[in-house]
Amino acid sequence: MNEFPFSLENILEQCGGSASTALLVLNEFLSQVSSDEAEMQNGLDTNVLIKTSKAAHRLKGTAGVLGAEKLHALCAALEIAAKEDRATDTIKIFADLQAESKRCIDYVPTVQQKLQ
C-alpha cells in the first residue's frame, strides 16, 4: 500500500496547478466525506442501498479529483455492490471505505500545509 493516500502532485494536476483551487477541493472533501458516509450508513441501516450507492458515487468523484486511488476504488466497489443489492458485500466494503477515508482525512492537513 502506498504510504500516502494521495499526492500533492495529483491534486495540483487535477486543479490546473492552482494551490487555491486545491485547497478548496480539500476543504470540500473534508465537509463531504462525513455527510456521504452518514448517508451510506443510513442506507445500510434502513436497507435502502440505493442511498448508499448514490453517496458512494458522489464521494468517488471527489476521491478521483484528489487522486486518492484506493478510496476511489472502494467507492466504485461500494457503489456497484449496493446497486446490486449485495448487502453483505456492501457492509464489508463500507468498513474498508471508512478506514481509507480516515487515512485520507488524517493526511489532508499535511497537504494543506504544503499548499499554503
> For 73-92, what is each residue's pLDDT tens digit?
999 999 999 999 999 999 99
Q: What is the mean pLDDT of residues 35-46?
A: 96
Q: What does the pLDDT read at residue 104? A: 96
Domain boundaries in the chain? Answer: 8-110
Is residue 104 within 8 Å of residue 29, measured between CB atoms? yes
- Give the sign of the dihedral formed by CA 97, CA 105, CA 56, CA 50: positive
pTM value is 0.92
**Which CATH code for domain 8-110?**
1.20.120.160
List the one residue out of 63, 55, 54 whose CA is nearest residue 28: 63
